[in-house]
Structure 1
Amino acid sequence: MKAVRVREFGDVDTPAIEEVAAPTAGPGEVLVRIRATAVNFVDILVIGGKYQFLPPRPFTPGKGPAGEVITLGEGVSDLRVGDRVLAMAEQDGYGEMVAVRQEQCYRLPEAMTFLEAASMSLVYDTAWFALRERGRIKPGDVVFVMGAAGGVGFAAVQLAKAMGARVIAGISGPGREGALAQVGVDGIVDLSMPDLRNSLRARIHELTEGRGADIILDPLGGDCFDAAVRALAWCGRLVVIGFAAGRIPEIRVNYILLKNIEITGLQISDYRKRRPELVAECFAEVFHFYETGQVRPQPATTFTLDRFAEALASIRDRTAKGRLVLLQD
């Protein structure tokens, strides 16, 4: 079969497509023919050798592909040949087939396409864990999502609304509202406004009658984190998801004490390894929200497998708009 192979860590054009032996389904595993795989920023980190979990080389990158089950390994009882699944594999998504543990495969709703499933992979589960597990969301909470026009941010906005929250979306500049206006956000904040440290708190207080945000999701870090901490309500929770702005911020812990606030982090891969039953709960609810029309992934731009480097480069260079997916016949 064809697969993208990383033999040396480097830039997005370092890997190459090679002919490799097809994997086999071991005990408790299924073999999935891949139909769609999202292209993610984390793939660039893995290819560059900068991610916290690095497989031995050579390897095939790509997380969370969607496809159909074609072979069952010994002892598999929960799936059948022909089942359409989202396979939350940590690698091997940039290939034609992948062997995955049966408990890491989630049957797709009948109406969900492989393209939609791949578009939701890694972003809706990350957003769900940030809200449900780390943020302990409750109906009526005020949720402020920074980077709301991005993959995780857009997913978080939809999920928070479906979970009964009041949602404020943070965007990186005027004109980036896009689809956010169509999903019923309760307010939009421009994170490019001057004096963000003070102006962000003032704007959030203006939108919440002086209360502040109960939950803030931060995939940005840097100055946005510094300002967001000040916009938390009493007993608020800020969930650190990433550092897309570049700088890893620091905080004086006396501020956490004075406002009774919590700052917590989310690293989604560990949940797949340590709490698979909670991941199953996550996808059950996300797919329920999809079936009831409460969440829909953004339209995706598709690439063939041989254009993987082009797709990765557009993410690296910040020219990508919406989700990018490698689509296979």
Structure 2
Amino acid sequence: MKAWICNAFGEEPQWIDAPGPVAGPGEVLIDVAACGVNFADTLILLGKYQKRPEGPFSPGFEVSGTVRAVGDGVTHVKPGDAVMALPDWGGYAEQVIVDGSLVIPLPNGVGFEQAAAFQIAYGTSWFALKYRADVKPGEVVLVHGAAGGVGLTAVECAKLLGATVIATAGGADKCQIARDHGADYVIDYKSENIRDRVLEITSPLGKPKGVDVVYDPVGGDVFDQSLRCVAPGARMLLIGFASGTVPQIPANILLVKNVTAIGFYFGAYLEQNPDIAQAGMAELLDRLKSGAIRPMISHVYRLEDAMDALASIRDRSATGKLVIDCRKNR
């Protein structure tokens, strides 16, 4: 099979012919149709992700495709089934092995590209906002990086939960994307001060209030500004650090305003909360089938051009979700 293989952390992946994998007990072998592109793909290549593969590996955390074979003990899918799955890595390839517990049959009407664009971005936002931050109707949610693959889904999910959404993005075009996907207010962080604008938006009669929930996949200065425009009792969701700077949280501010900082790592959350994971993914699939959520796929790359997709993630030029088409015959 063709695959992008990284031989050592920090090295560029190589486009090679690799041996085809074989499904062992409890595993599923998938002919990959599509693979979602995520910021975490850039981290795992550097050895900076929460999980570190041993030996040569291919990046890629979310795939869709057709079951080629199943190992002993797998009964919920069979060869020929259309599925989506969340491997630890390996998606930038024509085939991938996945633990059977992480493979979900695709509902009728959900295409491969949709499924590859859906799992991590919407899963992260839905579980973080609903199950970790417990967003309630009428609350105000501040979403950073709102034109990106994850941030854009947070705008949609917060609206589904009944919140008022303030979105931040860089530049007029990205701000319009957030607005088009339901944001009630949009802040251009390139020309506006996030803290000042949030307090202006949430301050009826000139009395500062702030937001109830912050959804932050950026970190750095964005987090620092957010901490200074939250309402008493606010919850701050730490989703990631796309800025490259991990914030050092001044605990005195958390104490004075009774603010809660909540870390959220989607993969570990699914493993630690299997019952919630099953219920939450069923909720998301229902909304996907009904059209209540629609992944914004901004570009589909051929598998051999996957490194171009990663470059767009690294330089933050990408909007919406990027997907790699991994099929031999397109």
Would you call these one fold, judging by a TM-score over 0.5?
Answer: yes
Residue 254 (structure 2) aligns with: 256
Residue 191 (structure 1) aligns with: 189
CA drift of 1:157 comes to 0.8
Residue 55 of structure 1 pairs with residue 50 of structure 2: no
Residue 311 (structure 1) aligns with: 309
Q: Which runs of 4+ in 1 moved over 6 A?
A: none
Unmatched tracts of structure 1, length 5 or more:
none
Separation in 1, partners of 2:251, 2:204: 26
Counterparts in 2 of 1:208 and 1:238: CA distance versus 1, 3 Å: farther
Counterparts in 2 of 1:139 and 1:209: CA distance versus 1, 3 Å: farther
8 Å Cα contact 1:197/1:226 also seen in 2: no
| Secondary structure in structure 2 of the residue aligned to 1:175 | helix
Residue 179 of structure 1 pairs with residue 180 of structure 2: no
Letter aligned with residue 201 of structure 1: L
Residue 23 (structure 2) aligns with: 25
Residue 152 (structure 2) aligns with: 154
Counterparts in 2 of 1:259 and 1:321: CA distance versus 1, 3 Å: closer
Residue 10 (structure 2) aligns with: 10
Separation in 2, partners of 1:208, 1:170: 22
Separation in 2, partners of 1:296, 1:199: 29
Residue 298 (structure 1) aligns with: 296
Residue 138 (structure 1) aligns with: 136
* 1:16-95 aligned within 5 A: 16-95=14-93
Letter aligned with residue 142 of structure 1: V
TM norm structure 1? 0.92
| Secondary structure in structure 2 of the residue aligned to 1:170 | strand
CA drift of 1:151 comes to 0.9
| 1:61-86 deviation digits (Å, cap 9, x = unpaired) | 11111112221211112223322221
Higher mean Cα deviation, 194-203 or 160-169?
194-203
Higher mean Cα deviation, 171-180 or 154-163?
171-180
Separation in 2, partners of 1:75, 1:207: 63
Separation in 2, partners of 1:181, 1:224: 20
CA drift of 1:89 comes to 0.5
Residue 106 (structure 2) aligns with: 108
| 1:207-252 deviation digits (Å, cap 9, x = unpaired) | 9985422111011112211111122222110101112223222232
Counterparts in 2 of 1:207 and 1:122: CA distance versus 1, 3 Å: farther
Unmatched tracts of structure 2, length 5 or more:
none
Identity among equivalent positions (%) equals 39
Letter aligned with residue 321 of structure 1: T
* 1:190-269 aligned within 5 A: 190-205=188-203, 210-269=208-267
What is the root-mean-square deviation in Å for CA atoms of aligned residues? Answer: 2.2
Residue 117 (structure 1) aligns with: 115
Separation in 2, partners of 1:194, 1:81: 53
Separation in 2, partners of 1:105, 1:142: 35
8 Å Cα contact 2:147/2:319 also seen in 1: no
TM norm structure 2? 0.91
Separation in 1, partners of 2:64, 2:306: 16
8 Å Cα contact 1:191/1:200 also seen in 2: no
8 Å Cα contact 2:297/2:322 also seen in 1: no
CA drift of 1:111 comes to 1.5
